[in-house]
Structure 1
Amino acid sequence: MSLKKQESLVAAIKQSPPIDLSIPYDAAWVKGKTILITGGASGFGAGFVEHWAKNGATVIVGDINTEKGDNLVRQLRRETGNNQVHFVHCDVTDWQSQVNLFKEAVKLSPHGGIDTVVANAGIAGSDPTQQPKGLDAPEPPEPQFKILDVNLTGVMYTTHLAFFWLPKNPGSVPCNKDSKPSEQIRDRHLLLLSSIAGLAPIAIQPQYNAAKHAVVGLFRSLRASSHMEGVRINMVCPYFIDTPIVTTGARLMLAGGATGKVEDVVDATTRFVADSRILGRSLVVGPKVTVKQLDDGQWALANKDTPGSTETALWEPCADDWENVEAFNRNIVKVLNQVQAVRGWVGWATDIWKAIVGSR
C-alpha cells in the first residue's frame, strides 16, 4: 500500500467524489424540501429563492431588509402559485434574531423541520481598517467591523443553529453519498456562501477578505466531522457577480474584464441543494469560458470548435484537502469515527433502557 493511500482520509470523512459537472441534476429535486436562507431578499440570494420556489420548495427568507423581503415573497407567491414562501425579519449579527428565524422556519415548515440551511447573508463596502480617520487625534477612533460581523459572526451563528436543527429534521437520515436524490426529500444540509475573496487576496477589502477566508476555513474543518451528526456541508465561492453588492468603484476596476452571471451561481447552488449525493464539496463560480484540459492537467482557454473543449463557469477548489494529511488530522478523524460507531450502540442501549424503565 502506498503512503498516499495510507494517509488519504476522503473515505473516512465520508466525502463524495469530485464533482462531475457532466452528470445532470434536476432542480425539481428541491420539491417538498424546506430551505432556510439568510440574506435572501436581494442579489443572487433572491435568485436562489425564486428558482427554488418555482420548483416547489418551501423557502423561508431571513433578511434585515423588511421591505425587499416582503415584496419578494408577495411577488413570488403571485408568479409561482407557491404559497410556501415566507419572509421573516432577521439581523444575522444578532443571536436571538437568528434563533427566532430558525424557530419560525420550523413552525412554517409543512413537515416541522428544515432540510437545507443556506448561510448567504453578506455585505461589502468601504473598509476603514487601512484608512483610519483622525490621525491627528491623541488616540485612534474605535473601528467599525460591520462587514466582519455580518460575513463571519453571522455565518457562525447560522452554522451553530444549523447543526442544532438539521439533525432534528423529522424523517431525515444521516447524509450518504449513495443516496437517491430523486427519491430522498428529507435532508440535513448546510450550504456556506464564501467568495473568490476566500481563496485569493482582494486589495483594499481586508475585512471582507478576512471574513471570506474564515468561511473557507470553517468549511474545510467542518466537512471532516459533519458526518458525526449526519449533516452534509458544501460551499459556493462566487467571483465578482453582476449584482448590487459590486460597488461602482469595483465595477470601474473590473472594466474591460468579465464578471460572473447570477444564473450560474443559482445553477451551482441548486446542484448542491437538490443533489443529496454531494458531501463536502465546493464550487467557484466565475465568468463562463471555453477551456480544454491539457496533458499535464492544467486548463487553457480554447475556441468553441476546439476538439475536447468545454464551456463552463464552475470550478472545484479545495478538492484534495484530505488526500494527504499529517498526524493530527489522521488521528482525530479516526477517533471521531470510533466515537460515531460507539454512539450507535450507546443510542440503542439508551432507548432500550428508557423503554424498560418507562414500562414500569
Structure 2
Amino acid sequence: MKKKLKKPILHILSDLAKIPNTSFYEKEISDYIFKNLKDFVDKIYYDEFGNLIAHKKGTKNNVPSFAFVSHMDHPGFEVVGNDNDKLELKTLGGVSKYAGQKNNKLLIINSDNERIPITVSYKPKITNKIQDAREKEGWLANDVIFSNINHDQNIINHQVIFDLEDFFIDEKNNLIHMRSADDLAGCSSILQALKNISDQNIDGDVFGIFTRAEEVGLLGAIALAESGVIPIETNIISVETSSIIPGVNLGGGVIIRTGDRISTFDDSAEKYLINAANKLVNNNEFKYQRKLMGAGGCEASAFKAFGYKVTGLAYPLGNWHNRGDKKVEEEYISIFDLNTGLSLIEEVAKLSGMEFPSFTEKMKSNFINSSEIKRLKNKW
C-alpha cells in the first residue's frame, strides 16, 4: 500500500532511491546532496577522492565538534567486458548468492542514464573451499558473472543494479522498502539534520560527510581519514544501516552502535550520543537501542585506524544487501527508526561545544573513593 510522504526526510530518501549508486558511480547521488544542502551550510566541497564534505561552522573555537558520516554507494556490478554481446560483470561489494543465479534480472545504466534490462546467463563454478563457505553464508562468491545482451551499444564500464523497486512504503507495518537503504538512509538523515539546524547557533563545528566506495573496502573513508582534512579532534559518528541481529528490534528505535565487525568504538565519543538520547527519552516518539553491530564494517573503523575518536548510529536493516528469502529483494527499514535517528543526530549536534565525563571517568569519580571499596582494605 502506498503511503503519502508526510515528512521531508522521506521525500529526500525517495528522491535518492531513484538514483543508481553502485560503488564508484556515486556522482549523481553526490550532486543531489550538494544541490539540496549548499544553501544550509557554511561550506560544502569535494575532497580529491570525490567524498562530499558539508561544514556548519561553530561559534566557538577549541570545543567538541562532530562529523556525521555515511556512504553514498550500494553493492552491485560493473560491466568490464563485452565480447560479441556477451557481457562480463564484475561484482562490486557483497551481494546475495541469488544475484548470480541464472535468469536473475539486472539493469545496466547506460551513458544516457537509461535502464537496460539484462538477465544473468551463467556464473563460473565454485573452485575452492573459501568460495564454497562464502556461498553457504548466503553471499555470491564469484568475482564475475556473465550475461547476454542484444543491443547496438558498446556497453563497457557501466554500473549494473538489481531490477528491484526503487522505493515504496508499507503503511501497515510502517516500513520503507528500497533497493539501496544501505546507506541512503544515512545520507538522507544527515542531509535533513543539517537543514533542520541550519539557522541555529551551535558552539562547535558540525560536519556532514558522504563517502564513496564503502562497499568495496571503506575506500572513500580511508582516503579521507588518511588525508587529515577533518581535524583529528573531531568526534566521528558513523550513520549506517546494519543487518538485524539477535537483541535488536526493527521499530525499536535507532541503535547506538558500540562497534562493528572490525573494531569496538570509543566511549569518549559515545558519551555524546548517550547524553543526547537520554534527553530525548521522555518523548513518547523516541526510543533507542544500544548494541555492537558486528555483521559488517562501517566508516567509524576507517577513521579509528587513523587516530580519530569514533562512535556510530545504525538503523536495523532487513534483507541486508538485498539478501531476501531465496531471491534478491528490496532492503527495508522502519520509518520510526529513521525518525528517531534524525532526532538524535540533531540533538547531538546541539551538544557540540559541551563537555561530558566519559563512562570510565564517571566510574573513577563514583567508585574509587566509595566506602564499599574501602572495606576491601579491611581484613577478612
Q: Which has the higher strand share?
A: 2
Choose between structure 1 and 2 for higher RCO, CA contacts under 8 A separated by at least 6 residues.
Answer: 2
Q: Which has the higher helix share?
A: 1
